[in-house]
Structure 1
């Protein structure tokens, strides 16, 4: 289509295929996976929709120029020649993020500085004054990527990372990132067709993301703003239509989502965040030690959780993971249980054989997402 343009969605390691599937389901064209990224094509309305709806995207970049450079002066000259006055007002603010993998440049901050100088000098020479830099809340966030001698300059349509959904006001120690939570849920095949439990729910991120997937609620519906809302060509009427259309595609959820945590403070924070996300009717959080719990429902249960590990709490890891395995085996028949850990030897102590292992990163920590299938007959067999 004539109005379509290329975009790039950035994501976390291991979620490239999931993000590609999300984009295709939304209606993106020419979807191609990369490393921690997926490229695609769509129009301005689709860019709005991608920011609003994608669960596993960190940012949506809109490339506006690609060129080759021979050195820093060449970079300056080519950035200077771009019509920056089309993208922001001289009274506005901007910020530059740079990523560099090149023998020509050995520091991303230097590239950002050189780019900033070219933009500022262009405004000063044409209009007699210059826009200011604001690294926290700019009107325009520019992304420059240099691979060898190829430069791609993009506008960041998202602004703050898209994991900042807007519903979380209270957090626990080392809360799980919302994008990681959504990606784990989608990796696990969660689709809202049964009851769900996070038995160590902390501040409730997995519970909320699970409910939003189950009800097909746009991931960023609670977010206060996107960077594209400050662009000169922002179309408020179009964005409102995209929001209304997305909300019309929500669906009813006929099961229940349960959260356990043994810390009263965590239960309180989780309930606050669930309320902020307007999901209280679907999610029930209670103070409960998982190791002293029984399955809260009849029938099949889908479980996804992020157990604490040595980085966060001083616990006896072998004993802790043995208790996870024993609790699942003895008290949770007909359950599909998934959990993530950065302690890569921990699963040996669970005492159950995982049916899947998926490599992910929790922040900078290499982690594994393990799947355990607990069959309905296992508890009965134990007592025979």
Structure 2
């Protein structure tokens, strides 16, 4: 099988798969290949935090010309994977000189499947681009065509808890990956000082408590497969939940917008994590660290692409607030505004290239020390 992920998250996903018990884990580009049985496929969909999709390859073949694609797809035993009454959709990825139009390839594959059922039964399955029962993935690289079933369906960043969002919400898979990249392990207090709709807060709590990220999700495409085993799935879900652990620190979020606070609280409640997370209507720039204990901070400040702000001043305030009010803090944040990052006025201890959707960004870390180390380490770039 293979799991798809975001650019730069391959190491994180490979580690997750090994920790879950996958066999023969090997990394590709935005892809990690692995071995596992049906039960492991269910577990991967439920438990992987940094996967977007989990695909199950069913066949591969060589194509020399466009007619080969139709003929090879038509020759497959589609009755083994779906019925004439189910809806389906075809997703295509191309890395080929022969084929350059993914919509054309998807249409050819759709035609072959539809014709096969029509020739056998006089009727055909329908295409549903939004809520298909069966999702078929076509990957053509050079002259080699790989056909897979998409076991996930909708992207796995659709966790099921986030029903309300603000402007520019962060993707759940991206949020979880950044938290893991930051070293968050649930062994300290956590703060998102610009929490928006609460995605970092929920993902941080699920990591801290070892809660499967997709346990709230209602739909997976594998539930529509002919060989779906409800009893096995229920056992996998129960076993995954039984590995949850207690969390003895505080997870807190601030946002100055009342609407954001309300949405974040709703999403936290939807995730069933209200006992672990508190959210306050407060500006980060008016806040102070509440205890002397170590604090882990991760947040997603505005980049200036959708929210019009005086960015140099805003990022300067981030640096000033961290330096003056948050000693003993490990602060991480993501931004695509490279110029504004220069105005933070603190030296980064790490700077990692990531992508937020199509925006090339940097995930930066600032270590805010107490006492004598403060003067030594907090010098401007």
TM-score, normalization: structure 2? 0.97
Which of 324, 327, 339 lines up with 1:330 in the alignment?
324
- Deviation of 1:302 (Å): 0.1
Q: Check the 8 A contact 1:329/1:379 in 2, yes or no.
A: no
Match of 2:371 in 1: 377
C-alpha contact (below 8 Å) 2:190/2:251 kept by paired residues:
yes
2:117 match: 123
Residue of 279, 302, 307 corresponding to 2:301: 307
C-alpha displacement of 1:381: 6.3
Task: Tell whether the 8 Å contact from 1:95 to 1:142 is kept in structure 2 after alignment.
Answer: yes
Question: Following the alignment from structure 2 to structure 1, what is the Cα–Cα distance between the partners of residues 331 and 290?
Answer: 14
Counterpart-to-counterpart distance in 1, 2:101 and 2:324: 55
1:132-167 CA-partner distances (Å, limit 9, x unpaired): 111111111000010010000000000010000000
Q: Which moved more, 1:308-317 or 1:178-187?
A: 308-317
Q: Which residue of structure 1 aligns with residue 144 of structure 2?
A: 150
What's the counterpart of residue 345 of structure 2? 351
Residue in structure 1 matched with residue 11 of structure 2 by the alignment:
17
Q: Which runs of 4+ in 1 moved over 4 A?
A: 378-382
Q: Tell me which residue corresponds to 1:238.
A: 232
Partners of 1:123 and 1:130 within 8 A in 2 = yes
SS in 2 for 1:349: coil
Asked if residue 109 in structure 1 is aligned to residue 103 in structure 2, the reply is yes
Gaps of 5+ in 1: 1-6
Alpha carbons of structure 1 residues 379 and 32: separation in structure 2 relative to 1, 3 Å = closer
Please tell me whether the aligned partners of residues 195 and 297 of structure 1 are also in contact (alpha carbons under 8 angstroms): no
1:67 equivalent in structure 2 = 61
* TM-score, scaled relative to structure 1: 0.96
**Deviation by residue 1:81-110 (Cα, 9 ceiling, x = unmatched):** 110011001111110001111111120011
**Does the Cα contact within 8 Å between 1:101 and 1:147 map onto a contact in 2?**
yes
Counterpart for residue 366 of structure 1: 360
Contact preservation (8 Å) 1:339, 1:370:
yes
Contact 1:60/1:157 (8 A) holds in 2: yes
SS in structure 2 opposite 1:138? coil
Task: Tell me if 1:217 matches 2:227.
Answer: no
Q: Which residue number corresponds to residue 199 of structure 1?
A: 193
- Deviation of residue 379 (structure 1)? 9.7
Using the alignment, how far apart are the partners of 2:330 and 2:182 within structure 1? 9
For the pair 1:178 / 2:163, whether they are aligned, the reply is no
Separation in 1 of the partners of 2:228 and 2:127? Answer: 21
Structure 1 segment 221-300 matched on structure 2, within 5 A: 221-300=215-294
Structure 2: distance between partners of 1:379 and 1:371: 16
- 1:3 maps to which residue? none
